[in-house]
Amino acid sequence: MSNIRFQALQAVLGRTVQEVKLPSNKISDYFSANVFDKLKMKGYLSKEAYQVIVDSVDKGEPIPRDMAEQVASAMKSWALSKNATHYTHWFQPLTGSTAEKHDAFFEPTSEGGAIETFSGDALAQQEPDASSFPSGGIRNTFEARGYTAWDPSSPAFIMGRTLCIPTVFVSYTGEALDYKVPLLKALHALDKAAVDVCHYFDKSIEKVNASLGIEQEYFLVDIALFNARPDLYLTGRTLFGHMSAKNQQLEDHYFGSIPERVYAFMQDMETEALQLGIPLKTRHNEVAPSQFECAPIYEEINLAIDHNQLLMDLMDRVAKRHNFKVLLHEKPYEGVNGSGKHNNWSMITNTGKNLLSPGKTPKNNLMFLTFFVNTIKAVYEHADLLRASIASVNNDHRLGANEAPPAIISIFLGSQLSDVLDEIETSRISKKIKDDAMLWQGIPKIPQILKDNTDRNRTSPFAFTGNKFELRAVGSSANSASPMTILNMIVADQLKKFKYDVDKLIKKGEKKDVALLIVIKKYIKESKNIRFEGNGYSEEWEKEAEARGLSNFKTTPKALDAILSEKSAILFEDTKVFSKREAHARHEILLESFYKKLQIEARVIGEMVTNIIIPTAISYQTKLVENVKGLKDIGLDKSTYTAQLDLINQLSEHINFIKTNVDQMIGERKKANVIEDIQAKALAYDEKVKTYFQPIRYHVDKLEQLVDDSIWPLPKFRELLFI
């Protein structure tokens, strides 16, 4: 009987390309078909109710009770017309994925039949049985009370036969239990602070929205191969596996032609995404074999994040139809590129101006420089917090490894903008500036061809790319709300401080534009250390960063400290994004998730080694022993079986090493498990347990190379990556 690996390979050989039926040749025919968007609301709601929703989205005004009733009834009519049978509040708990609790629309009537109902109450507020969502001690488990309430800034949509209503998730004491609530608070703070600063330049600006375009990287693997690897289906990554003879060294995958089966999956996934209003625009191969990327057109940030969460879920569902498994893990294969989620971020006014787009006139450029330099200063001031916001056990494997940004937060601007900032820094802003002409001479011209010339330093975790910043350190499986809450919050805080500094100078009698330039110049000087144009992957950079005083937290338990720092506490208080309790709760949840994932990995390593690897190695060794015995029996001398003896010895060495180290690792795990303090526990897992992973793996991978291929039960890298 062939082993599970060969059965899986057999299954892969039998695969055919799934046919994908497009709803129409024109995407515009079906884009957003499954979304209760503004256009549909207009058709289903009274003029008055429609306006209430629009105001709620644009101005954050609450929706009155009677209106909620009307909206619910409209939503139900639309959903039933689309054959939906259930509804759910769709939310983003801190577990990292999305959560749903489905309720049917139908309700039995006293006469015996049933009707479809959906009330304003059901729309506005729902109490899921939430006792098992992480809340970091905020909500006592036995109380199990968390509320979900509709977030009107993200439209309802239909998945399958369920109406999904994007909601926030809060405890009954009003504390945030999800990713959305702090994000919305940060966006509110940014809007206010940015509008205030905009008024130095343009009084007509009433609102500033952050925009976000998320590039999503992922790996695909055949479902049969995936299922033959317990490490993949239990942890999302391979814990063992020798590198394939051919991997990514030829770089022939990137922008190569997309394999047919993958292409069918992409088309299918895109069709569903487009119907859900996710504006997917690009698709291509990535650097590593079997690695791909898709990206939508940027959207308002809250929506962009909901769409990315939805997309990750969708990818997984659609992949099954094509016998694929999507790997969103940051580092599924050691030695091969990891996956990230580039967050392209900017700020856009209600008048349509991108605040990070350099202008044509000096006056516009002063506005651009204001937002540009404030962003740099914000990241400089709170780099540690930004680092904390992307920290996870998965991302620890990726940051600083194979073509991923390092754990040091630095900013890349491109030589042209660096020169511009250097010029301002060294220019003399004379108090004697009398007229505008003199002032504008102090602002260097920003070259027009910027967009093509910036970026392409792929090694930077935070890069300016012409009209936006790109945060590249975010992990592929992460919820972008975590780093985006921090980014928007720190920029909001910085803009507030900027306004304070500028107003102070104006009060002292400085001309407005001069005051702006003086503060900009000061910030450029103060934040200079975070700017780095060189190779972020190099060792020299690590040394230089250290000399510059930049942090380099390589692992999560230490990186997370920033959440509890004095500096962050002041920031949270000023921006009102996190209460003290919320900050502590988040810190705790993140540490808990960190150690629990390592705990699972350690267990899987133990089980696989004991039940799969060692038995396989021993059975091969036994075969060799029998062979040697046989050769001896027929009277051959030792010289005829030296190779066999050598192999037998090598196998024993590896088996012994693995067994001893797994036992020791289990010992360390037991010690770590009884540690009460959660940070100490996370550190113990990181520094005492995880340290065994690599040496054990090394020897398992040696066995993979030694043992007869026909009995090795785990699909090999060459099969996972190239089939």
Say if CB 336 and CB 288 are below 8 A apart: yes
**Sign of the torsion angle spanned by Cα atoms 75, 80, 84, 87:** positive
Give the residue nearest to ligand ADP (CB): 213
Output Rg (C-alpha) for the chain, integer angstroms.
Answer: 29
89, 139, 261, 342: residue in contact with Mg ion (rule CB under 5 A): 342
Compute the least distance from the CB of residue 485 to ligand ADP, in Å.
16
Q: Does 213 interact with ligand ADP (rule: CB under 6 A)?
A: yes
**Sign of the torsion angle spanned by Cα atoms 496, 500, 502, 506:** positive
7, 85, 227, 354: residue in contact with ligand ADP (rule CB under 6 A): 354
- Eight-state DSSP code of residue 176: B
Containing H/E element for 216? Answer: strand 208-222
Say if CB 175 and CB 138 are below 8 A apart: yes
Kindly identify the residues of this chain, within the stretch 538-567, that bind ligand ADP according to CB under 6 A.
none
Q: Does 414 interact with ligand ADP (rule: CB under 6 A)?
A: no
In 3-state terms, what secondary structure has residue 395?
helix
34 binds, among Mg ion, ligand ADP, none (CB under 5 to 8 A by kind): none
Q: Does 468 interact with Mg ion (rule: CB under 5 A)?
A: no
Q: Does 344 interact with ligand ADP (rule: CB under 6 A)?
A: yes
CB nearer to ligand ADP: pick between 212 and 714: 212
CA dihedral 184, 187, 189, 193 (to 10 degrees): -170
Compute the least distance from the CB of residue 484 to ligand ADP, in Å.
11
Compute the least distance from the CB of residue 477 to ligand ADP, in Å.
18
In 3-state terms, what secondary structure has residue 529?
helix
Q: Does 350 interact with ligand ADP (rule: CB under 6 A)?
A: no
Cα 351 to Cα 534: distance, rounded to the nearest angstrom: 37
Q: Does 669 interact with ligand ADP (rule: CB under 6 A)?
A: no
Compute the least distance from the CB of residue 710 to ligand ADP, in Å.
44
Compute the least distance from the CB of residue 483 to ligand ADP, in Å.
14
Q: Does 467 interact with ligand ADP (rule: CB under 6 A)?
A: yes
CB nearer to ligand ADP: pick between 301 and 433: 301
CB nearer to ligand ADP: pick between 213 and 340: 213
Q: Does 468 interact with ligand ADP (rule: CB under 6 A)?
A: yes
Compute the least distance from the CB of residue 295 to Mg ion, in Å.
8
- How deeply is 427 buried, as exposed, middle or buried, from its count of CB atoms within 10 A (0-12, 13-18, 19+)? middle
Closest-CA residue to 5 (of 710, 705, 605): 710
719: amino acid identity, one letter: E
Identify which range of 150-158, 341-349, 557-565, 669-677 contacts Mg ion by CB under 5 A: 341-349
CB nearer to ligand ADP: pick between 465 and 661: 465
Compute the least distance from the CB of residue 470 to ligand ADP, in Å.
6
DSSP letter string, 530-545: GB--S-TTSHHHHHHH
Compute the least distance from the CB of residue 282 to Mg ion, in Å.
10
**Sign of the torsion angle spanned by Cα atoms 495, 497, 500, 501:** negative
Compute the least distance from the CB of residue 154 to Mg ion, in Å.
24
In 3-state terms, what secondary structure has residue 714?
coil
Compute the least distance from the CB of residue 525 to ligand ADP, in Å.
27
167, 171, 235, 346: residue in contact with ligand ADP (rule CB under 6 A): 346
213 binds, among Mg ion, ligand ADP, none (CB under 5 to 8 A by kind): ligand ADP
Give the residue nearest to Mg ion (CB): 342
Cα 538 to Cα 34: distance, rounded to the nearest angstrom: 47
Question: How many residues line the site for Mg ion (CB under 5 A)?
Answer: 1
CB nearer to Mg ion: pick between 253 and 377: 253
Site string for ligand ADP, 165-204 (x = CB under 6 A): ----------------------------------------
Question: How many residues line the site for ligand ADP (CB under 6 A)?
Answer: 15
CB nearer to ligand ADP: pick between 126 and 365: 365
Identify which range of 264-272, 342-350, 422-430, 602-610 contacts Mg ion by CB under 5 A: 342-350
Count Cβ atoms below 10 Å from residue 476 Cβ, excluding itself.
26
Say if CB 218 and CB 293 are below 8 A apart: yes
212 binds, among Mg ion, ligand ADP, none (CB under 5 to 8 A by kind): ligand ADP
Say if CB 408 and CB 545 are below 8 A apart: yes
Tokens read off for 639: 């010289």
> Which residue do the tokens 């910043």 mark?
469
Compute the least distance from the CB of residue 26 to ligand ADP, in Å.
21
Measured CA angle at 522 (ends 521, 527), to 5 deg: 100
Say if CB 435 and CB 556 are below 8 A apart: no
Output the furthest CA–CA distance in the chain (Å, rounded): 107
Identify which range of 247-255, 336-344, 425-433, 482-490 contacts Mg ion by CB under 5 A: 336-344
Q: Does 211 interact with ligand ADP (rule: CB under 6 A)?
A: yes
Bridge partner residues of 114 (DSSP): 108
212, 495, 517, 585: residue in contact with ligand ADP (rule CB under 6 A): 212
What CA–CA distances, in Å, run from 78 to 74, 313, 430, 466?
Answer: 6, 23, 64, 42
Cα 685 to Cα 679: distance, rounded to the nearest angstrom: 10
Compute the least distance from the CB of residue 299 to ligand ADP, in Å.
8
Using H for helix, E for strand and C for coil, what is the string for 98-160? CECCEEECEEECCCCCEEECCCHHHHHCECCECCCCCCCCCCCCCCCEEEEEECCCCCCEEEC
Compute the least distance from the CB of residue 285 to Mg ion, in Å.
15
Identify which range of 154-162, 262-270, 341-349, 512-520 contacts ligand ADP by CB under 6 A: 341-349
Containing H/E element for 363? Answer: helix 362-381
Compute the least distance from the CB of residue 664 to ligand ADP, in Å.
45
211 binds, among ligand ADP, Mg ion, none (CB under 5 to 8 A by kind): ligand ADP
151, 178, 215, 542: residue in contact with ligand ADP (rule CB under 6 A): 215
Say if CB 244 and CB 290 are below 8 A apart: no
Kindly identify the residues of this chain, within the stretch 279-298, that bind ligand ADP according to CB under 6 A.
295-298
Identify which range of 40-48, 142-150, 334-342, 386-394 contacts Mg ion by CB under 5 A: 334-342
- Binding-site ranges for ligand ADP (CB under 6 A): 211-213, 215, 295-298, 344-346, 354, 465, 467-468
- Binding-site ranges for Mg ion (CB under 5 A): 342
